[in-house]
Chain A
Amino acid sequence: MYETMLVSRFFEEAIEAIYLEGKKPVFNMAKGPIPGEMHLSNGQEPCAVGVCAHLTSSDIVTSTHRPHHAAIAKGVDLARMAAEIFGKKTGLSGGRGGHMHIFDPDVNFSCSGIIAQGMGPAVGAALSRKMQGRDGVAVSYIGEGAANQGAFHETLNLAALWKLPVIFVIEDNAWGISVAKSASTAIPNNALRASAYGMPGHHVTGNDPIAIFAAAGEAIALARSGGGPSLIDIETDRLAGHFMGDAEAYRPKGELEALRARDPIPAFARRLQSEDALSDADLAAISDRARSKVDDAIGFARESAYPEPDEALDKVFV
């Protein structure tokens, strides 16, 4: 899990640096090797690894507009994902999707740029597994803002009604772009909403991969044994802006510094050193492996060719 968190963080740092190429001194989203909006997942890695460590490639994950960490933890092809983010022909979708539309059917991963719109597809995939008698659970990642969407309530009800093997995971980073959760949500803890639909609700604090792993383990075991859905509400931290270029003037002074001081990756490293006696050399070796995976993926994306423009006309229908 630690190594996967590092891959994710190094990947996002690489994307961040490349994203800014060609966008200075005047920020223009359309410029540079990676145009468009960019939502980085720095700080939210524990949510990805703590849940996905329980999954195999045949389980289903739907993610959000901030999908890279979950995709990496689910085993999405890193090089082809990078190429997709660059808009290259070798990308997972040949450049048609981009960073908010990562699809890798080989590992049953998809995401949507629309809030809460991964929830229905996760419920449907879980229904499909149940009807076909095939193994597998579906995990739907959402942000805390999505808990106020109609889709949230409709899909929780449907999943509980039909007792489907699906786990809803809220990555609560406390901010819906600039609106604080306290200004958008009537209750402090969205796990409480699970009881409205007769399913277990887990509330995990501390952005702690081990605690998330434990809660997810319970929920996924329940789903695999035919016990139906669960809701996991995770308090996590968004260490980047909502999107690249976000000045974050809405954050209280000092908040970002405080969040960075409790960055989950160094915290996890310290824990591994003290509890599992990993040496500095062990950690360095893990770090080197992660760095090299990311370098290879980014290199592949950079070197890949763009699609022919008129390929845009293909694949509307299959």
Chain B
Amino acid sequence: MSSGAVAAANERRLTIARAMAEAIAQEMRIDPSVFVMGEDVGTLGGVFGNTRGLFDEFGGERVRDTPISETAFMGAATGAASDGMRPIVELMFVDFFGVCFDAIYNSMAKNAYFSGGTVKVPVVLMTSTGGGYSDGGQHSQCLYGTFAHLPGMKVVAPSNAYDAKGLMTASIRDDNPVIYMYHKGLQGMGWLGTEPAATVHVPEESYTIPFGQAAIVREGKDVTIVSVAMGVHNALKAADLLAAKGVSAEVVDLRTLVPLDRDTVFASVSKTGRLIVVDEDYHSYGMTGEIIASIAERDLSVLKASPQRVAYPDIPIPFSRPMEQFALPSPEKIIEAYEKMKGRRGWRWM
């Protein structure tokens, strides 16, 4: 369900951070095996607010601050999960995963397979993604593609608080490792500056959003714009601008990268004939290429024009504001991509 569909009466608008914390608290109340550990998840409530209130309600035994020992606590999450617990682990910035990647992609992600399915590893990793606030190249990356590329982990990236809550509940209940990647610019933390459209109505009761179901967040007929997280908001803004030019854009929010809802994307592109993929992760070898390849492999003839991508250039993220803003995807770049597509009339432009 899209956020727009529920934004009506009895609104209960939450930030993504509060929606995440609410989902975790609700699961912790009904399932004693669920616990949280990580850096600053306790009394601070998470640097990005997504464990706020949990320490007060559940105490330090179930909401554990860890030393800055990512290899140890990622490994511990795997061991605890295989022994009947459901750990939710916070690692502040996705940029920090290098120090503990082995514990994640060689063990957490592979143990179910190595054991022939006899060992389950129900871990939720929470981590922040994204830049735009001049935090430099070790605190601003997205790395969606890195995790989506490696087999054995489900990859979640919500664009709004409604989805954030439902996807978190689904993540906790899943028997597989899930990396839950929340964008700092959508989180609702005042000091980061937040995209207001991410703060939407969130029902109080518990609900899940199934993995692998993309949402059509805006319907259109001339071009499909596919993205996740912050990119969805850029796409929606671009769609407004395109509408003013008489172009009807459909916006698809993938919501999960693994599993990937190729069917919804294909159906949309079959209808519009044109595809732009927007990603704040790096340009090459990433989600943008994957989406385009999925369409091309399935049926190239649905395309009326060459697909375009709007992604982060293949550079480390620069600090200086004008340089960083130059590199980030934006609604304007999506319009440019559309114009470029239109400019290449060689092939069945209608």
Contact = CB atoms under 8 A, between A and B. Distances in A.
B79 A103 contact: no
Interface stretch (B81-89, B202-210, B315-323): B81-89
Interface string A139-169: 0000000000011001101100100000000
A114 B107 contact: yes
A318 B111 CA distance: 11
Contacts of A318: 112, 117, 120, 175-176
A38 interface: no
Interface residues of A, number: 43
Contacts of A126: 79
Contacts of B103: 117, 120, 151
A123 B71 contact: no
**Residue of A101, A120, A131 with highest tally of chain B CB at under 10 A:** A120
A121 B111 CA distance: 11
Interface string B59-90: 00110001101111111111111111101000
Interface string B172-213: 000110000000000000000000000000000000000000
B151 A158 contact: no
Nearest to A129: B83
Given A103-B114, A158-B66, A128 B84 contact: yes
A198 to B, nearest CB: 14
Contact of B116 (A93, A122, A161): A93
A120 B175 contact: no
A110 B75 CA distance: 13
B269 to A, nearest CB: 27
Given A97-B116, A103-B111, A315-B112, A155 B83 contact: no
Interface in B154-171: 154
Nearest to A121: B79
Given A114-B107, A157-B67, A314 B79 contact: no
B116 A103 contact: yes
B230 to A, nearest CB: 27
B76 A132 contact: no
A131 B85 contact: yes
**Residue of B69, B112, B114 with highest tally of chain A CB at under 10 A:** B114
Interface residues of B, number: 44
A117 B106 contact: yes
B79 A93 contact: no
Contact of B119 (A103, A138, A317): A103
Contacts of A105: 82, 115, 118-119
Contact of A154 (B71, B80, B107): B71
Interface in A79-117: 91-97, 101, 103, 105, 108, 110, 112, 114, 117
A176 interface: no
B102 interface: yes
A304 B107 CA distance: 28
A121 B106 CA distance: 12
B320 to A, nearest CB: 33
A158 B79 contact: no
Contacts of A108: 83
A127 interface: yes
B80 A315 contact: no
A245 interface: no
A151 B176 contact: no
B115 A97 contact: yes
B152 interface: yes
Contacts of B112: 315-318
A63 interface: no
B35 interface: yes
Interface in B118-147: 118-120
A31 to B, nearest CB: 23
A263 to B, nearest CB: 32
A138 B72 CA distance: 15
A96 B113 contact: yes
Contacts of A110: 82, 111, 115, 119
A60 interface: yes
B83 A128 contact: yes
A124 interface: yes
A62 interface: yes
B113 A161 contact: no
Contacts of A316: 112-113, 151-152
Nearest to B76: A124
Contacts of A60: 79, 83
Interface of A: 60, 62, 91-97, 101, 103, 105, 108, 110, 112, 114, 117, 119-129, 131-132, 138, 150-151, 154-155, 157-158, 161, 314-318
| Top-7 shortest CB links A-B | A120-B75, A124-B79, A121-B79, A124-B76, A93-B116, A154-B72, A103-B115
Given A124-B75, A127-B80, A128-B84, 20 more contacts: A60-B79, A92-B115, A93-B113, A93-B115, A97-B115, A103-B115, A103-B119, A105-B82, A117-B106, A120-B75, A120-B77, A124-B82, A124-B85, A125-B83, A129-B83, A150-B99, A154-B70, A155-B76, A158-B66, A317-B112
Interface of B: 33, 35, 61-62, 66-67, 69-85, 87, 99, 102-103, 106-107, 111-120, 151-152, 154, 175-176
5 contacts: A120-B76, A124-B85, A151-B71, A154-B67, A158-B76
